[in-house]
A and B are shown apart, each in its own frame.
Chain A
Amino acid sequence: MAKGDTGKAVSVPKNSPATVKVPSLKVYVREAFFMADQGECWIPGSGIAKLSFEIDGKAVAGKNATTNNPHKVAVGLVLTVTLHEAIETKARAATRAKSVECSEATLSLAGVVDGKHVLKVIPEGSSASSDAAGPTTSSTQSRLYRPLNIEFSVKNGLLTAAQETDPNDAKAVVTHGHVTAFKDDELCIDLKPDWMATSAGVHKRTKAVDLIVIHHTGGKVIGPALNEALAAKGPHYEIDPEGHVVKFVADDHVASHAGESWWDGNPSCNSYGIGIEIVHWQPDPPGSAPIPPVQDAQYASLIALLNKLVKDHKLKPHRIVGHSDVRTSKADPRLLGSDRQTCPGGMFEWTRLEDEGLGMIPVKDVKIEDAWGGYFESYKEPLRFGDSDTRRVYGGKPRKDISGVIGELQGDLLTIGYSVKVTGEFDDYTRQAVDRFKRHFYTGTRSALAPKSLAVSDRIDEDTASMILAVSMSIP
């Protein structure tokens, strides 16, 4: 006996082909971000309206085969929830809320023989775009998803396998949706949107895009950052730990991500910048606990996205900075503030971007001896907070044979883009800029070159001086 489309038992004739043994498949689809080790990391997920389905390239008929309304399911009432809950409970703390909202469709499997097949889940308005991210301009829809292809196997009328696949590349890892569970004639699917419209802190841009600011969320999962972006403020893009890119704000709109900020002579980086958040966090305090690095998939997606943005907005590749490079303080909008000095984090490897020609790339073979008044040709003591061109104090000592060292240092930092004032005094502005410079440029493959003074913002040794000069000289 098997169940027909109506749900009533139907008899199976003898010697009939195996195709009639599983005449239907219940599919449950929801919008969710699920991580194997974290469980569902966005609450609330919800059912997705207006889905259609194809099996092996043909539209599928059946009850609710095209869903129109998310089906609200109470905890523990139906199998779909049981399936979802089983994986969630295993992965999550029991105290957290769970999403129990799914869209439900019963698909006819008439004519589907034992063996491998492909189910295509098609959200309304979706396209099989290979773009790095969602729509370039504002969409009138609140959500956009990409279709998800699922390779499934049927044997003796039961599902024996189900796995999302990339139709163009069998080896590719699919990140925009997942099969979260399957059992007999039921299949649970999560889709991640490409586009989640928000109006929180958003308005039309009056200045052209001229900067990209990279952030990290400070969290392990994307959930809080999603909710914040939808409810209060956020960036243009977020990149989850699998490398999936979600877009919230069209590039031609200002988003609220950088706050009080200054770069290359211009305040308020929100007005001319695009914000990208990477889901990752910084140990607090640094070194307190080992954490996984920013994922390769995240770098790959980020690089693809940056290349797209650089092309779309005709940006110069060096106009890619970190939040810590630009964030100034509340009290003094020209003084780099310490409240985001770790963003996008000491584990973010800027050299990965540099290897792709993105970001500020120091020129090679720079000789600091020829610059900064020749200070490092004569002396080895690091320059430090309190040094002064006026008093000709360098490295904490009077050096009457040299002048203009700090002014040159400040000029180079200013050329790079940092918010310093050329005063000839190694002041707070200079100290904060040097701190941010070290945090940016001594990461990734260069972290081994980090000077001993890395943790001390008010010291500049010869290596750091050379690096500052090398970056300054790279700015066109």
Chain B
Amino acid sequence: MNTHVPHRVRLSVAAFVAATSAQSAFAHEPKGVSSVCDLTPPTPSRLGFAALPTPLSPEDRRVVKEAELNFQKGNHAEAKVALDPVVAKNPNDGELRYRLAVASAAAGDVRTACAEISRLMELDLVGFAKRYEDDKAFSVMRSSDAGIRVAEHMRAVEVLWRQAMTTGLPAMMSKGARGGMGIWKPSYLRGGVYLHEVQRFLPLEPGVEGASAALVNPQARTVSVLKFATSACKSDFCPHISAVQVLVFSLDDFRRPPSRWRSGEETTTMIDLRSGPRGTAVRIHDCCCWKGCTSPWTSIGPKRAASGDSQSMEMSVDFRGSLLGIAPPGIRIAKGGLLSVGAAAMPLSAEHEPTAVHDILVDESAGARLVFSATDRCECSAKKEGPIFHYDLSAINAKTGTSTVVEHNIGTGAAMLDGKKAVYVQTGDTVRRWPSIASVGKENGMSIMPGVVLVVPRSPSGNCCGL
């Protein structure tokens, strides 16, 4: 799991859980300890994260470590008592909740174990459901009344989870820092949907250690997670990306292991991920072994997505961040305009450069369209030597065929619709929301939950006319 629990502590979780498993929780329920499992039906407002999980404080880490030692000594109740307040202080830390549930189960506190597991399913169903179902530590509980209640709760959560997937905003919850040479160093990343009405982020994939980007496409029923290593290397042609991995998670069955793709190349500069009606595909930009420094597209997982008319999404990820292109079926940008099947071209401002990455947002019922273009290229000419780095947002009236530039600025970002046709525009680190395409340019957008982004925003390419 990709949490802020330090590696040293996370390693010890295995021993913690293994110890519990060996002792088979609930094998003998102590007398006088409650075994009641009263669960409140799940609601959208309790789903997912209300905020980015924060790292444990040094004091909390100390307490967790102490609890682990107590647990290993068989002092389960003491471990549980120690973990309780730490969980209360870190409500978005799923790993901690799981450990509290394990300690509670071992201590025979069914009420707490049941409550924590149930709460955990609301928080992060996809991250913990299979783990709970497979964990020997809960084998007795799962077949008990409490376990049956938990299973019912999980099913109820899953119903909401599937509903949220269709109404929310495909997004990432991301945290990281920019290092030397503009290298983005992710410390937390989950792919999921943002639910604006309840201001929560719901993960759709279980979390991948070291993930750098996620391409969430509920229409295609997949979340693709990308991870890689970056070496500054400080030679020409650097930084280099290596150990590229793509994991494609199916939204039809979140318990199914992801389809995986790995690249053995060591001098990659960029990775393109594509998700659409034909499934998921990846290609790398690596001058090592490919003509034009670009590999062919390689399919990952099922060749066809669940929905034949899903939008096409393409994410280009490098060591600085990512760009995201979105095109609904039958619509594209070409020859300076917006082209739709069976309709006249709608001209766009020249600021929407042909080399830009475009997000085309369409609300057919409102006759409105929006085009966000992010330009990140390098110009090495007699006139200019350096990065060209800007975004442009234009609103298009589909009835009149006219377009209006709403925003033009330095930087990059992306734009996307949620399932209810609300518009989200990310510029830099900030994501703003408008209730509809028509309201963009007329109202000020509202900032959404910090940490929720459409892309990891890129910094401009430095020294782009150099090696």
Chain A interface (Cβ < 8 Å from any Cβ of B): 43-44, 93, 95-97, 201-204, 206, 215-219, 223-228, 230-235, 254, 256-261, 268, 270-271, 275, 277, 281-282, 284, 323, 327, 329-331, 337-343, 345
B276-306 residues with Cβ-Cβ distance < 8 A to A are 286-294
Residues of chain A contacted by B382 (CB below 8 angstroms): 203-204, 206, 254
Do B236 and A343 touch (CB < 8 A)? yes
Give the Cβ gap from B182 to chain A, nearest Cβ, in Å: 7
**Complex interface bits, B226-242 against A, C-beta within 8 A gives 1, otherwise 0:** 00000111111110000
Which B-chain residue is minimally distant from A223 (CB atoms)?
B288
Residues of chain B contacted by A341 (CB below 8 angstroms): 234
Give the Cβ gap from B288 to chain A, nearest Cβ, in Å: 5
Which A-chain residue is minimally distant from B291 (CB atoms)?
A44
Distance between Cα atoms of A44 and B235 in the complex (Å): 24
Residues of chain A contacted by B294 (CB below 8 angstroms): 231
Do A235 and B467 touch (CB < 8 A)? yes
Do B289 and A340 touch (CB < 8 A)? no
Give the Cβ gap from A324 to chain B, nearest Cβ, in Å: 9
Distance between Cα atoms of A22 and B288 in the complex (Å): 41
- Asked whether any CB of chain A lies closer than 8 Å to the CB of B54, the reply is no
Instruction: Given A235-B467, A256-B465, A281-B235, decide whether A43 and B180 contact each other with a Cβ distance below 8 A.
Output: no
Distance between Cα atoms of A231 and B293 in the complex (Å): 7
- Asked whether any CB of chain A lies closer than 8 Å to the CB of B330, the reply is no
Give the Cβ gap from A96 to chain B, nearest Cβ, in Å: 6
Residues of chain A contacted by B386 (CB below 8 angstroms): 260
Do A225 and B462 touch (CB < 8 A)? no
Majority secondary structure, A binding face: loop
Give the Cβ gap from B80 to chain A, nearest Cβ, in Å: 45
Distance between Cα atoms of A44 and B287 in the complex (Å): 10
Do A342 and B465 touch (CB < 8 A)? no
Residues of chain B contacted by A216 (CB below 8 angstroms): 235-236
For chains A and B in complex, what number of residue pairs have CB atoms within 8 angstroms?
142
B172-213 residues with Cβ-Cβ distance < 8 A to A are 180-182
Do A257 and B232 touch (CB < 8 A)? no
Residues of chain A contacted by B144 (CB below 8 angstroms): none
Do A282 and B462 touch (CB < 8 A)? no
Candidate in B290, B382, B385 with the most chain A CB atoms within 10 angstroms: B385
Do B287 and A203 touch (CB < 8 A)? no
Distance between Cα atoms of A228 and B238 in the complex (Å): 12
- Asked whether any CB of chain A lies closer than 8 Å to the CB of B466, the reply is yes
Do A228 and B237 touch (CB < 8 A)? yes
B443-467 residues with Cβ-Cβ distance < 8 A to A are 460, 462-467
Give the Cβ gap from B384 to chain A, nearest Cβ, in Å: 10
Q: Which of B236, B290, B466 contacts A270 (CB 8 A)?
A: B466
Do A339 and B180 touch (CB < 8 A)? yes
Give the Cβ gap from A325 to chain B, nearest Cβ, in Å: 13
13 additional A-B pairs beyond A223-B288, A224-B288, A343-B236, beta carbons within 8 Å, are A44-B291, A203-B381, A215-B236, A218-B236, A219-B237, A227-B287, A227-B288, A227-B293, A228-B293, A257-B236, A259-B467, A260-B465, A284-B233
Instruction: Given A97-B289, A227-B291, decide whether A259 and B463 contact each other with a Cβ distance below 8 A.
Output: yes
Residues of chain A contacted by B231 (CB below 8 angstroms): 284
Residues of chain B contacted by A257 (CB below 8 angstroms): 236, 466-467
Give the Cβ gap from A334 to chain B, nearest Cβ, in Å: 14
Which B-chain residue is minimally distant from A95 (CB atoms)?
B264
**Complex interface bits, B380-405 against A, C-beta within 8 A gives 1, otherwise 0:** 11100110000000000000000000
Residues of chain A contacted by B233 (CB below 8 angstroms): 218, 284
Give the Cβ gap from A431 to chain B, nearest Cβ, in Å: 16
Q: Which of B235, B380, B462 contacts A201 (CB 8 A)?
A: B380
Give the Cβ gap from B404 to chain A, nearest Cβ, in Å: 34
Distance between Cα atoms of A339 and B237 in the complex (Å): 11
Distance between Cα atoms of A254 and B464 in the complex (Å): 14
Residues of chain B contacted by A95 (CB below 8 angstroms): 264
Residues of chain B contacted by A96 (CB below 8 angstroms): 289
Do B235 and A217 touch (CB < 8 A)? yes
Do B234 and A259 touch (CB < 8 A)? no
Residues of chain A contacted by B288 (CB below 8 angstroms): 43, 223-224, 227
- Asked whether any CB of chain A lies closer than 8 Å to the CB of B267, the reply is yes
Do A225 and B287 touch (CB < 8 A)? yes
Instruction: Given A327-B463, A339-B463, decide whether A203 and B380 contact each other with a Cβ distance below 8 A.
Output: yes
Residues of chain A contacted by B381 (CB below 8 angstroms): 203
B432-449 residues with Cβ-Cβ distance < 8 A to A are none
Do B466 and A261 touch (CB < 8 A)? yes
Do A270 and B235 touch (CB < 8 A)? no
Which B-chain residue is minimally distant from A342 (CB atoms)?
B234
Q: Which of B232, B236, B462 contacts A330 (CB 8 A)?
A: B462
Do A343 and B385 touch (CB < 8 A)? no
Instruction: Given A270-B385, A282-B235, A342-B235, decide whether A228 and B287 contact each other with a Cβ distance below 8 A.
Output: yes
Which B-chain residue is minimally distant from A43 (CB atoms)?
B289
Give the Cβ gap from B208 to chain A, nearest Cβ, in Å: 24
Q: Which of A215, A224, A260, A323 contacts B462 (CB 8 A)?
A: A260
Do B465 and A340 touch (CB < 8 A)? no
Instruction: Given A215-B467, A259-B465, A259-B466, decide whether A340 and B287 contact each other with a Cβ distance below 8 A.
Output: no
Residues of chain A contacted by B385 (CB below 8 angstroms): 268, 270-271
Q: Which of B237, B289, B464, B466 contacts A217 (CB 8 A)?
A: B237
Which A-chain residue is minimally distant from B182 (CB atoms)?
A330
Give the Cβ gap from B139 to chain A, nearest Cβ, in Å: 42
27 A-B pairs with CB atoms under 8 Å apart are A43-B288, A43-B290, A44-B291, A97-B289, A201-B465, A204-B382, A215-B467, A216-B236, A218-B235, A225-B287, A227-B288, A228-B237, A228-B287, A232-B293, A234-B467, A256-B380, A258-B466, A259-B467, A270-B380, A275-B467, A282-B235, A323-B236, A327-B463, A330-B462, A338-B234, A339-B181, A343-B236
Do B238 and A218 touch (CB < 8 A)? yes
Distance between Cα atoms of A228 and B270 in the complex (Å): 13
Do B182 and A270 touch (CB < 8 A)? no
Instruction: Given A218-B237, A224-B267, A224-B288, decide whether A277 and B232 contact each other with a Cβ distance below 8 A.
Output: no
Which B-chain residue is minimally distant from A258 (CB atoms)?
B466
**Complex interface bits, B350-380 against A, C-beta within 8 A gives 1, otherwise 0:** 0000000000000000000000000000101
Smallest CB-CB A-B distances: 9 pairs: A259-B466, A218-B235, A330-B462, A259-B463, A227-B287, A201-B380, A256-B465, A224-B287, A228-B287
